[in-house]
C-alpha cells in the first residue's frame, strides 16, 4: 500500500466503525533499538491505529521530562537517524500500520529537506509532524512531501487564532494535531474544560481529520476525547512504562501491553 493511502484509509475505516483512531507515541530506539522494536510490536498487537515515532533529539523543546528522558536514553544507546529509518523498515516487515515521525526541523534541514523526505518515504513513513516549523515557513518541506505523497502534519494550539486555523489546514495533509493544553507534553490529571467547544470550533474551519493530544493518560480521558475528535494521542503514559522497568525487559513489555490495552479500551468504553 502507498504511504499516502495508509492514513486516509485508517481514518475512513474508523469513521465507518464510528470510532476515533488511537495514536500511540513512543520515542524511537528507547531504551535501545531492539527493545524499541519489541515495544512497537506490543503496541500494534494491542490494537493501536497509528504509531507516532519520536525522533531522538538533543533539544526537544516541546517535550516534557518524560519524553526528554526517553530521547536521552535513545541517544545514549547510540541511536542515529539511520537507526530510526531502520526501525521503520523493520516494522514494515510485519505491519502496514500508519507511521508518523514526530520530529524537529533541524533534524530534517540538516540532512537536506528533499533527501530526508525521500529517506522517510523509502523506509515506509506516512507523515511528518514537525513541531517547530510554522506553516508559513514550510514551503520546501510541503513541496517535498507533496512530490513523494508523504503527509505534512501541522499543530494547532489553544492559543491559535481562529482565522489562522483555516490557513494551517490548507497547508496540512493527513490530519491536524490539536494540542489540548498549553505547555509541553506529559501526563495530566484532567482535560481542558473547554475541549469539546474548542474542537467543535476547529472542525468548522477544516476538512481533514483532527486528532487531540498532550496530557491524555487514562482510559476515561481517551473516551472523553474520542467522543469529539477523530483521533486520540497518548504518549507519556506509555513512555513511562519503559524507565520503570529498565532492569526487566519482559516486565517492560508486559507493562506496556497492559497499559495500551486499557487505553485503547477507552475508545469504546460505555
Highest mean pLDDT among 68-72, 187-191, 228-232: 228-232
Facing residues of 231 across strands?
Answer: 21, 211
| CATH classification number, 3-268, choose in 1.10.3720.10, 3.20.20.70, 2.60.34.10, 3.40.50.280 | 3.20.20.70
Q: Give the pairing type, strands 231-234 and 99-103.
A: unpaired
User: What is the overall mean pLDDT for the chain?
Assistant: 92
Mean pLDDT of 231-236: 95
* Three cell numbers written together for 86: 531502520
Q: For the chain, what are the domain ranges? A: 3-268
Question: What confidence tier does 187 reach under pLDDT thresholds 50, 70, 90?
Answer: very low
Mean pLDDT of 254-270: 91
Phi-psi region of 183 (alpha: psi -120 to 50; beta: other; left: phi over 0): left
Name the residues annotated as catalytic. Answer: 52, 63
**CA gyration radius for the chain?**
17
Amino acid at each position: 500500500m502507498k504511504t499516502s493511502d495508509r492514513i486516509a484509509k485508517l481514518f475512513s475505516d474508523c469513521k465507518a466503525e464510528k470510532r476515533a483512531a488511537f495514536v500511540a507515541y513512543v520515542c524511537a530506539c528507547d531504551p535501545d533499538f531492539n527493545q524499541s522494536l519489541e515495544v512497537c510490536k506490543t503496541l500494534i498487537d494491542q490494537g493501536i491505529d497509528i504509531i507516532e515515532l519520536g525522533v531522538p533529539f538533543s533539544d526537544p523543546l516541546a517535550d516534557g521530562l518524560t519524553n526528554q528522558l526517553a530521547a536521552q536514553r535513545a541517544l545514549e544507546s547510540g541511536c542515529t537517524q539511520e537507526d530510526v529509518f531502520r526501525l521503520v523498515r523493520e516494522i514494515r516487515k510485519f505491519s502496514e500500520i500508519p507511521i508518523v515521525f514526530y520530529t524537529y526541523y533541524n533534524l530534517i534541514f540538516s540532512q537536506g529537506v528533499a533527501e530526508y523526505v525521500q529517506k522517510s518515504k523509502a523506509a515506509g513513513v506516512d507523515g511528518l509532524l514537525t513541531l517547530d516549523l510554522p506553516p508559513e515557513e514550510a514551503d520546501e518541506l510541503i513541496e517535498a512531501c507533496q512530490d513523494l505523497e508523504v503527509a505534512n502534519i501541522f499543530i494547532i494550539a489553544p492559543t491559535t487564532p481562529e482565522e489562522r486555523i483555516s490557513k494551517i489546514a490548507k497547508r496540512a495533509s493527513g490530519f491536524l494535531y490539536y494540542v489540548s493544553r498549553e505547555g509541553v507534553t506529559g501526563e495530566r490529571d484532567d482535560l481542558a474544560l473547554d475541549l469539546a467547544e474548542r474542537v467543535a470550533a476547529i472542525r468548522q474551519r477544516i476538512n481533514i481529520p483532527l486528532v487531540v493530544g498532550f496530557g491524555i493518560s487514562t482510559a476515561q480521558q481517551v473516551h472523553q476525547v474520542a467522543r469529539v475528535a477523530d483521533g486520540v494521542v497518548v504518549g507519556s503514559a506509555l513512555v513511562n512504562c519503559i524507565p520503570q522497568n529498565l532492569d526487566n525487559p519482559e516486565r517492560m513489555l508486559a507493562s506496556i501491553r497492559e497499559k495500551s490495552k486499557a487505553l485503547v479500551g477507552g475508545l469504546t468504553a460505555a
